[in-house]
Chains A and B, each alone.
Chain A
Amino acid sequence: MKKIRFLYLNEYDLTATVKTASSEASGFPLTNLVNRWHTRCWRSTGVADEWITMDLGAGTHAIYAFAIKNHNFTDAAVIKIQGNATDAWGSPSVDVTMTYNADVMREFWSSAQNYQWWRLHMVDAANPASYLKFGRPYIGGYFSPIVNFTRHYTKKVVDPSTKMYSPGGQVSVDEKTIYKIWRYNFDIIEDPDQDTFADIFNWVGQSKGYFICQDADDTKNILAYVENVSDWEFQHILMDEYFSLGIDIQELR
């Protein structure tokens, strides 16, 4: 089991990152990808050879993770994440074919991939939609605490549907989408991690979406796109420089 990973500082969203696409369908521009709604997608106009490049700018970029959420790729698609020092893609330094998942596709690296230029290359020639789309990318590092959350975490599956009953007891339902809420308790947070947890909350607060990977070894928990639903309260415990923290997060719909 791997420790939980917080993918919160998304370099894709930074204004300094220059994004370019091979094509844009009318009404579905590349700028949609920075929108908080992951349902608001970028669309290509073709399916056979599409790409999005990301120029992260000069300087150090410790890239450990890349992900895309809400796509329409088929399982026959060849989706590659590529990284390079220059905007040249004949033989990039990073050239990884991503493993297919119907919702979120992701790639982790065990060492920092420090490249200015990144490209998502998409080939899905048999896609019945005749266009490719996705709604939210992530590129950046991730944070794992020294001590993982306790085993007594909770995952709540919520059905917000509205139910109304007739006098006879028959039910009518306004159905809504089921979603998940997680409660993670970190019983021991060592001092360096406390600063990073604080940084995460300072960055995302309750307003920004971010990704978590509960266990990178668990193929059923690829990645979740979430938001905080409460403030983070660090509780000082026992000795100096140790804290505990419980966080409540819910799946973004």
Chain B
Amino acid sequence: MAQKVNLLEIELAHRIDTDAWIQSGAPNTNAWYITHAEGEPSKVEEVSSVGIYTEKGSIALCHGTAKTWYWDSANNRLYIHTSGSNDPANYIVLSYFWEYHTDKQFSGNEEIVFNDHFYFPDIGGSIPDITQKVTSFLLGSYSMDFGGLTITNADGKYDSRLTNYIYEAKKAIFKQGDLGDVYGSYVDFWRGWTGKVALNDNQLEINTEDLRASVE
């Protein structure tokens, strides 16, 4: 038997329109950029009826189409072309990126690193029970309660992260596998959304929601 390993992945949001945006030089002046310390975003959103931007493969393509973004991995730069083709400071813009947690880490070649992402070994406490129930809306529909998850915060890391990033109402995935498994062999134990978040000196408590519970 190998050791069981739990993974928690949360897609956080980061408000970026208040960053110091720089307009690209000619001929790509519709594209504005910042250094995005969180790495490549999973998506970029303009908070309005515009919604999610489309990813492009170059600065020039980003410049050519409104409501797009481009990730320059060599320079850690995020380029965006807003709906109005002007300064992102005129809008509310969110970038999204995944944060990775695990309950165990290992040395050497057994480290819990998947797709070049290090998983913070800071899941604390026990794994909550899952409760499934049939809802009253439709006999075939059901909801799934997963309880709350605890992330250790003794070093205060999440004090600042809760200031900079939005943890509430975000996608979350809980996976389980065995030490030595490739990422694809981990089983999705639960998929849902984060709910209310509470922080204290010792831990970050993340409650979970199954949005199907609201479809009644």
Contacts and interface: CB of A to CB of B under 8 A. Distances in A.
A3 interface: no
A40 B118 contact: yes
A102 B108 CA distance: 8
Secondary structure of the B contact surface, majority rule: loop
A109 to B, nearest CB: 26
Interface in A23-37: 25-28, 32, 36-37
Contacts of B39: 26-27
Given A26-B73, A28-B118, A72 B108 contact: yes
B108 A70 contact: yes
Secondary structure of the A contact surface, majority rule: loop
Nearest to B103: A176
A37 B155 CA distance: 12
A175 interface: yes
A185 interface: no
Interface in A177-210: 177
A38 interface: yes
A137 interface: no
Contacts of B105: 37, 39-40, 253
Interface range on chain B: under 10, 10 to 19, 20 to 34, or 35 or more? 20 to 34
Contact of B104 (A70, A72, A177): A177
Nearest to B178: A175
A72 B73 contact: no
B196 interface: no
A27 B76 CA distance: 11
B201 to A, nearest CB: 14
A239 interface: no
Contacts of A28: 116, 118
B2 interface: yes
A240 interface: no
Nearest to A25: B116
9 contacts: A28-B116, A39-B105, A40-B105, A40-B118, A70-B108, A103-B107, A174-B3, A176-B3, A253-B105
Interface of B: 1-4, 39, 73, 76, 104-109, 111-112, 116-118, 121, 155
